[in-house]
Structure 1
Amino acid sequence: MKNPLSIHQKVSFTTACIFTAIAPVVGYLSIGLAPVIIVGGSAIMALIFWSRTYLRRPVDPEIILPLFILTVAGLQIHIVEEYLMGFAPSMSRLFRISWSEKSFLIVFALVGPVIYTLTSLGLYYKIPIAGFVAWFIFIGPGVAEFTHFIFPLISPDLMPQDPNPITAFIGGTKIPDMPNFYFKITGNYYFPGMWTAILPMILGCMAIYRLLLKKQESNY
């Protein structure tokens, strides 16, 4: 029989559920549907795995903390490529969403590192909600990066036959220089972030495997 959750664990679980419900809605209202599918799906999967593992039995920091830091390091390298190659405007053209480079930088280059730092501290002290954030990073910005290999095969919503960058207003926001990476038009199989997407993917998969293996070992 499983031990009942403590007050601290219940608060963490409630917080994670609220995030899982609200984050996709906020993302949809501010950006659009396509990225929300990835974020929302990752949050749901993270909630399931976290509630069955770290929430009830926090993993020792010497196991999960290096995995998290390495995954975040791979993710940050990946984000550099995304920014330099125009990931945000490329996504805007691909899915007709208003994702500016400014909002991309605020979320991933400024707010993101703050969250990663606080999560690392939380994992060190075995704070339950930190485990949820870690699982979300392992699954979302980790495993889900495989989508970069699919994006070049999708016809953009905005002027798919034009290989040149375009500027347009989307949802009242001016998005300049939106490039076209549609493989059928460019003949070049690439999408911003694709070269380094494998870094957080591999590290995220390693972390998930190690954590699930640890859970299995603890059941014996």
Structure 2
Amino acid sequence: MAKRSRRVQAMRDKADALGTVDLAKAVNELKGVESDLPKGVKPCKFDQTVEIAVRLGIDPRQADQLVRGSIVLPHGIGKAQRVIVFAKGDAAAAAEAAGADAVGDKELADRILKEGWLDFDVAIASPDMMGVVGPLGRVLGPRGLMPSPRAGTVTQDVAGAVKEYKAGKVEFRNDSSGNVHCVVGKMSFDAEKLIENIDALLQHINSLKPNAQKGVYVRHVALSSTMGPGISVAV
């Protein structure tokens, strides 16, 4: 196992000493985790992303226990998302007016398939474009970028979807171990804004509890930053 740097080890020690704390304390401790580092250890200089990890008591092998959704966080995620749209005619014009970074149909699909272009964060499609978008599944699917009705990225209202993602909408889905990971903001956010974003996300995940799931649904929650350790949050 690779040896941890002094900075990483110092922050890990601080996080471990906390144990499990309530959300407000977890956010405040996360924002202050790089303070009081050992002499000579410098804090991170960029605005780190804050992410939450939620371990669910689901069986991810069962199709009726999968958890997937999207939500517009109250305060966004502190990042301008790059959004592309597969549409034509009036829908294409509406998507452009809404601020989409790229709009097209077959030529846009060819750019992805033939040129390997993936310089975007979200892909949206109108339903009539799925014949064009379908072949992109092998490229976009593994990256979590494939348009999906369930995520709201296959829709007649492509302009509305563009506006939502530009405003801070995020998607999430459980992984093969039943964990959900989602960005909830930036370290530069006020603690109150981070707490409100996290509360909104956790409430939404709770609302998606599968009927087939038995026992404890939310088993563990951890909050972390790009370069920082995870802090255990009481559930």
TM-score by length of 2: 0.25
If asked which structure has higher relative contact order (CA below 8 Å, sep 6+), I would say 2
Larger Rg: 2
Of Structure 1 and Structure 2, the greater strand share is in 2
Of Structure 1 and Structure 2, the greater helix share is in 1
